[in-house]
Each structure stands twice: as structure tokens, then as C-alpha cells.
Structure 1
Amino acid sequence: YTKLGVDVFIGNGRFTSSSTIDVDGTTLQFAKAVICTGARASAPPIPGLDQINYLTNETIFSLTNLPARLGVIGAGPIGCEMAQSFARFGSQVFLVEAMHGILPNEDRDAADIVEQSILRDGVTLLCCGKDLAIKQVDGVKHMSVDSHGQHYDIPVDEILVGVGRSPNTEGLGLEEIGVDFNHKGVTVNPRLQTTNPNIFAAGDICSPFKFTHTADAQAQIVIQNALFPHPLGLGYASTDNLIIPWATYTQPEIAHVGLYEKDAKAKGIEVDTFSFPLNEVDRAILDGEDEGFARVHVKKGTDQIVGATIVAAHAGDMISEYTLAMKGGLGLNTIASTIHPYPTQAEVIKKTANAWRKTTLSDSKKRFLSKLFAWTR
């Protein structure tokens, strides 16, 4: 950063007024500021958890020895990724989830494919978990939980907590400078301005989408709005224009962008849905990676994409085609007309578009073409 001309101050920063920040005794003045303090792993109110040393998605990478037995709390993206990884490393893994099944925010059939893969890797899944408690007996950690009417007392060497993230709002002096915040983070408008218009925020501190690529996109919005505003205030960058994909890096991966079908219904948007399985895609068959599918939702009667899900070994790489189409206002007709190299797993995206294209051939068109071809034969 210093090579780019940035002055770097290492220390604890705190707002002392609407134009000053204190960094361990050094006062810095600013015209515009941005809060990028991120988030930390959440600690759920589980009895006994605060009495032990547990791992998070940040500290687990500091392990120097493979735990023989690993307990994982939470079957969201972090929990599933780490549970499967450590099972493949050789740990005996116990994955505890309060809800039914894993990845509760994903389509059920998509999550089920990943769940079966995780189970094949040897993970013990304890879903619908109730009355979870942690204790330590003779130096050994124990997870006590009821799952599907059966009680389990599981001794483990390490416990990973993977149940989400909490924004780092403490100790910043936000109350003193008129910046509103709550348990979800700092309150911002679509321009990423806080309730103090000269102070912006970006990343996990203010976004419900806690991904690195989202923070990067928001940083670009802040730079434009804070440093290069339109002189007449006529134009600004906005989070309203962001189309944010995400991926869960299990094997296979799940990637998604836009609305799920249930979200579209909740918004009153009627959709047509087109899916295509990977076990009918030649490259996926050749690679031995034919578990999964691509699914796309379009506004009913149109080719306008409103959301898509891919379950595949490389779903995170593949979802960008749908994302680009949505950002550029391109529909399934454009994807269907685009030549995809053969054989590739990304052909599954074109095949969903082809499935849509087949529906555009109405019965009246079929009758007309039948008569035309019969006449010209």
C-alpha cells in the first residue's frame, strides 16, 4: 500500500468526531471515511461452549496436528466445507445441525446431493439436533445432543463452530458520530453511506452477503461515490445494481445467483424453471463428476433470467455465465445461440437454455411446420 502512496497506520482506530479518528494516540483528520472492520465468527449461546477452547473458520487453519475426532456445529457452508475436508484428511467427523438436513438455504434437492457425498466421505450427520451442550471431562471435550429421538454423548478432540458471522462494530465510537448500527452491522443506503453521509462502509460490516467478492464490489462503489462523485449529484454507484453469486466449496460444489424459486414466489414473480442433469453431459461423465445439475429460473413466458443454481464439481467456476447474462440483460435465447466448446461441463448451461428454447415451439407452429415440410417434400 505504501508503494501506492497510501499512509498506513497500524493500531486500534476509533472515531472521535465526524472528521477525526484516533489511532493509539495519533489523531487523523478526514473529509471522507470508510468502515471496513469486517466480521468475526459468531458464538451461539450453547451451554458450556464458553468454558472450552473451540475453533472457528479463522483459527482452524492454525492447527498443526490433525484431530482424530472433530465435532462441527452448524451445517451451513462453513460447517459442511470443513466437515467434508477433515473427513477426507482422515478425521472422524460429527456434524451437528439444528434443522433438518444440511445447507438449509439451498434448494433441497441440491443440498441432498452434497449431503449424500458428505455421508459417503464418512461424516456422521446429527440433524434436527436439540439440547446441544458442551462439557469437558478429564480434559476431553464432549458434545451432548439429542437427534431424532436419540441421545448422543460424543467425545471429540476439537470442536469447530460454524454458525455464521457477527459484524465488528465494538470500540469504533460509532455512537458518538451519528452512525447507526445494530446486531446485523452498520446501517447503509444503496450508495454505502452510513447515517453520517461523510462516512461509508463496505464488506461484512454492513452487507448481508458476507463474501470476499462482495466486499471487493462494494469497495469499488465506495471509491466512486466518496472520491469521484458527480459534480451535480446526478449519478452514483449503487448496491441496487449488484448481482451477487456465491458458492459452497464442498464436493460437489453448489453455486447460486439471483432468486430461488421460493424467493420469486414470495415477491410475486411467476417463473418458468428449466433443469438439466450432469449425468447427461458427456464431459461430466468422462470426468466421473456427473452428480448434479444446472437449474435456471426465468420470468414466466420470457427468457429473462431471475436466478440459477448449479451443483457440480466446478459449480463456482460455472455460475459466472448466468451471472454475466443477468448483469448484461441477456436471456436464455442468447445462451442457447452461443457456441460452447465440446466436451465441457459448462455445456450443461447451454442445455438448460435449449430446454427453454424447445418450449417456444408452440402447437400452432408445429402444425404449420408439419404442413410446410409435407408440402415441400
Structure 2
Amino acid sequence: MKRIKTDICVIGAGSGGLSVAAGAVQMGAKVVLIEGHKMGGDCLNYGCVPSKSLIAAAKQAETVRKGGFGIAPAPPKVDFAATKDHLRHVIETIAPVDSQERFEGLGCTVIREFARFISPTEVQAGDTVITARRFVIATGSGPFVPPIPGVEDTPFYTNETIFDLREKPDHLIIIGGGPIGMEMAQAHRRLGSKVTVIEGDTAMAKDDPELATIVLNTLRGEGIEIVEGAQANKIAGQEGAISVETSAGTFRGTHLLMAVGRKVNIDKLDLKIGNIAHDRAVTVDDTLRSTTNKRVYAVGDCAGGLQFTHVAGYHAGIVVRSVVLGLFWSKAKIDHIPWVTYTDPELAQVGLTEAQAQKKHGAGLEVVRFAYDENDRAIAEGKTKGLIKVMVAKGRPVGASIVGAHAGELIGMWAMAIANGQKMTAIANTVLPYPTIAEINKRAAGQYFSPRLFDNPTVKTIVGLVQRYLP
């Protein structure tokens, strides 16, 4: 048995773990990085990267199908296997950044084994025992498969396997109406599959219902069947002939995708032996430190909060400041964290939704809106479906919801404003190039100030006096 002593031991080489390892080792700390599966984690291999690559292929097919601007529409000729080759190429292009070779080149000791705690101060990975001053758990999450009767005897896909499917599904049934389910539904529909989405509650339930309705209506308009309030009670069949019995009836298709949520990957870690409190994730305080073992931190999905790649990266920065620089007062917050569902149109959110803001701020809340069909660039490109809503309290944005083209890009300005406590004047004073979709943000800020300037009797009185007496 080999033994290693190190400053920081990072368990998991996904977004959060890689960010911690890279930051710590380049600042001079000794780092051991342990990964039992694929470098790059879920995001690179099964999540963000392949899904957005598939969405891009599907959008290209839809552009051909719709035509427009004097270009005749035509049925797209989709080579489904070639779209999967595109996914592989994108992954392979990005992979060197996350590779074992790169991190060894930075100075990390990389061990490609699964890790488990054998004491509060030690983990074992293969034939190596690592003792560290600090441990960072960054093992991410995997697809949750609910215990629906028949699921163990029926072939199904998850986000970890669907991208390996090289033959186009004739009829894809998706259980789960959240972001993953909706993104995959639209992508497969645009690439030529019939698609049925089964959701036990309300589809896209975590988003602003007004904006979510715009997305859902668009998907239904493209031919996707979305069934809400339909709890899956039984699954049966074989590939090519799948049936799902629900409270709203029985649905039949050729392939099945499970997209009902995520399960944190902590089962193999023997956290109890490491004196690490946990339930569905590691129990941490607002510095991301374990509440029971002060040597241990958790980032990303393992910390039990929002499950996004960019959150893992954000957590990594907090932990690096703590374990490398000793800035233990650095705390994780969520009110400035944006998220995006990459359907077409996209739906983006940061901070409070309108309902949440109304509950928190009551009469002190103002909601300003601006529609895409009043933006010149959106009109020029035929992308007029969408709107922005900004929730404002005491002159500062506390939330923004956007549905429409490039919503994921537009939300960044509001995430910055909320993160830095900026007022609406910071957005209104920003000069943006014309014509751009980004002007929607500035026009929304203008909607906040318009009544204060144009419907204000005091302002009108002052202007009258200035015009009368100014030499």
C-alpha cells in the first residue's frame, strides 16, 4: 500500500474539482486529484457539452425546415449518426483542457481510482492511501431513476447514455418535464423524431409560469406532445415497443429517456467513516465546509444546492480562497446565480422570480417589462417571440426573467448587477451598440425610469420653469 501526504486532496475531476485543483496547485499548494471515472465529469461527457452540441445540430435542421427571408423552406436531410459524430468531436476538442496530462503538467498528482474515506483524515484510492490537511468532495451527480414498477426490466436511456444512440428514435418518450427533458424533447423533434413528454406535475415548474408558457407553447407548436399531471405508474416493453402507464392514460413509443432529476454521487465515499454528516448531499455551512469534519469541504452538486456547472466553478473559487489563502469568511450565496434552459426560445433566470419577489418585497416591488417585438435587431432577424421582466426593489434589481433569443447571454448583465448590488441606473447608463438584442436590457431599465420622468408632475413643472426662464 502506497501512502501520500498532501495539502489538499480533491475527490472528483468535474468542473468544481478541476477548478479547485488548478487554482490550488498554481498557487503553490500540494494537490492530489482523484477521479474514478472520466476526467471532465458529467458536464463534458454527458451534460452541458454534448447536449448543447445536439441542440445546435437540431437548430440547424430547423433553420432549413423553416426557411424565411426569401429563402425557400426545405425538409432537412438529417444524418442522425453524423450529429453524434459532431458531439464526439466537440467533446474531444474540449477534453485536453480537462485531461490527466494537463493537470499532471500543472503539478497535481492524479489518481484514476474511486476514493473512499478510511478515517476522518485519510482516503483510499486503489492501492494508495492519501492523508491531507484538507479534502474537497466534488463528485457531482448522476441521473436519478425513480423506482417505477417495471423500470428494472425495461430498456431506457439517461443523459449518460442517450448521446451514444446513433439511430434516430422513431418515437421518444421522455419522463420528466424539467430543463433536461425539454431540451432533449425539442432537439429530437427537430431532428425528426416524434416526441412525448410525460410530467407528473407541471412542466418547467421552477421557472416563471408566464415565461415557461411561451416555451411550452412553442414546443407544442413544433409537434411535441407534453402531458402534465401524469404520474408514471408502470413501464413495460422492449426497445422499439415501450409503454408507459400514467394517471392520464397509457403512452407508447420506441425509446424511453429518464429525465426526472439528479442524484448526488456520494454512495461510494464511506462518509460515515470520515465523520462527514450528509443526507442527499454533504451537510455544509455557508462556507461550504462540512459541519462535522472541519477538514472537509464540498462543492457543486455535492454541497446540496443548485445543480449547475457554473455553480460548481463558483464554489471552487470560495473553497480555494478558504483552503489555500485562509480567507475563511468567504461564503456561498445563491441570489446572484443565473440559470438557463436552452430551448428555442431560451429561458433564463437570475435572482427572484416575480412570485418570489412579490412575496419578499410586497408593495415595495416594481416589475418592469419589455417585449422582443419592440427590439430592432429582433425584428430584423425574425426573433420577436419573447420578453424580459425585471423585479426591482428600492431602485435595485432583485431578479430578472428572460424568454427569447439569446436569453442566456442577456441574463449576464443582470447577474452582474445583482452580484455587485448595482442600481437600475447602472444598466440605464450603459451605452450599447445598435442594433443588438442586448438593447432589450437597457430598454427594460428605461421602462423603470420612464414614469419617473414622463409622468411626474414635479418634473414637468421644473421643465416648464427652465424653458421659461433659462436664458
TM-score of the alignment, normalized to the shorter chain, above 0.5: yes
Instruction: Classify the TM-score, shorter chain.
Output: over 0.9
Name the structure where helix makes up a greater proportion of residues.
2
* CA distance in structure 1 between the aligned counterparts of 2:288 and 2:367, rounded to whole angstroms: 34
Query: Is 1:291 matched with 2:391?
Result: no
Task: Give the structure-2-normalised TM-score.
Answer: 0.74
The aligned residue for residue 122 of structure 1 is: 223
2:174 to 72, 82, 91: 72
Query: Is 1:340 matched with 2:441?
Result: no
The aligned residue for residue 349 of structure 1 is: 441
Query: Is 1:113 matched with 2:214?
Result: yes
Query: Is 1:193 matched with 2:286?
Result: no
Give deviations 1:40-89, integer Å, cap 9, x for gaps. Answer: 11112322222212111221111111111100111110000000000000
The aligned residue for residue 350 of structure 2 is: 257
Does the CA contact (< 8 Å) of 2:337 and 2:350 recur in 1?
yes
Q: Show the 5 A alignment for 1:66-105.
A: 66-100=168-202, 102-105=203-206
Q: Which residue type is aligned with residue 167 of structure 1?
A: V
Q: Show the 5 A alignment for 1:199-214.
A: 199-214=296-311
What's the secondary structure of 1:265's corresponding residue?
helix
The aligned residue for residue 239 of structure 1 is: 332
Q: Which residue type is aligned with residue 193 of structure 1?
A: R
Does the CA contact (< 8 Å) of 1:203 and 1:216 recur in 2?
yes
Give the deviation of 1:332 after TM superposition. 1.2
* CA distance in structure 1 between the aligned counterparts of 2:317 and 2:168, rounded to whole angstroms: 40
* CA distance in structure 1 between the aligned counterparts of 2:424 and 2:239, rounded to whole angstroms: 61
Q: Which residue type is aligned with residue 67 of structure 1?
A: P
Does the CA contact (< 8 Å) of 1:135 and 1:142 recur in 2?
yes
Q: Which residue type is aligned with residue 74 of structure 1?
A: G
* CA distance in structure 1 between the aligned counterparts of 2:387 and 2:162, rounded to whole angstroms: 32
* CA distance in structure 2 between the aligned counterparts of 1:280 and 1:358, rounded to whole angstroms: 16
- Give the % identical residues: 33
Give deviations 1:222-267, integer Å, cap 9, x for gaps. Answer: 111112104xxxx532103772111000000001101112222333
Query: Is 1:63 matched with 2:165?
Result: yes
The aligned residue for residue 273 of structure 1 is: 367
1:171 to 258, 268, 273: 268
Does the CA contact (< 8 Å) of 1:132 and 1:144 recur in 2?
yes
Give the deviation of 1:133 after TM superposition. 2.0
Q: Which residue type is aligned with residue 341 of structure 1?
A: P
* CA distance in structure 2 between the aligned counterparts of 1:363 and 1:166, rounded to whole angstroms: 57
Does the CA contact (< 8 Å) of 1:54 and 1:161 recur in 2?
yes
Task: Give the structure-1-normalised TM-score.
Answer: 0.92
* CA distance in structure 2 between the aligned counterparts of 1:207 and 1:349, rounded to whole angstroms: 32
The aligned residue for residue 19 of structure 2 is: none
Which 5+ residue runs of structure 2 have no aligned equivalent? 1-102
What's the secondary structure of 2:133's corresponding residue?
coil
* CA distance in structure 2 between the aligned counterparts of 1:19 and 1:61, rounded to whole angstroms: 39
1:143 to 236, 244, 264: 244
User: Aligned pairs, how many?
Assistant: 365
Q: Which residue type is aligned with residue 141 of structure 1?
A: I
Give the deviation of 1:170 after TM superposition. 0.6
Does the CA contact (< 8 Å) of 1:21 and 1:27 recur in 2?
yes
Which 5+ residue runs of structure 1 have no aligned equivalent? none
Q: Show the 5 A alignment for 1:322-333.
A: 322-333=414-425
Greater mean deviation of Cα atoms: 325-334 or 128-137: 128-137
* CA distance in structure 1 between the aligned counterparts of 2:462 and 2:168, rounded to whole angstroms: 68
Query: Is 1:304 matched with 2:400?
Result: no
Q: Which residue type is aligned with residue 10 of structure 1?
A: R
What's the secondary structure of 1:175's corresponding residue?
coil
Q: Which residue type is aligned with residue 444 of structure 2?
A: T
Give deviations 1:325-363, integer Å, cap 9, x for gaps. Answer: 112222111211111111001111001100111132322
Does the CA contact (< 8 Å) of 1:340 and 1:347 recur in 2?
yes
Give the deviation of 1:206 after TM superposition. 1.3
Does the CA contact (< 8 Å) of 1:167 and 1:206 recur in 2?
no
* CA distance in structure 1 between the aligned counterparts of 2:297 and 2:231, rounded to whole angstroms: 41
* CA distance in structure 2 between the aligned counterparts of 1:41 and 1:374, rounded to whole angstroms: 70
Q: Which residue type is aligned with residue 365 of structure 1?
A: V
* CA distance in structure 2 between the aligned counterparts of 1:228 and 1:130, rounded to whole angstroms: 49
Does the CA contact (< 8 Å) of 1:256 and 1:307 recur in 2?
yes
Q: Which residue type is aligned with residue 148 of structure 2?
A: I
Note closer, same or farther for the CA distance 1:64–1:241 as it changes in structure 2 (3 Å cut): closer
Q: Which residue type is aligned with residue 262 of structure 2?
A: R
Give the deviation of 1:139 after TM superposition. 6.6
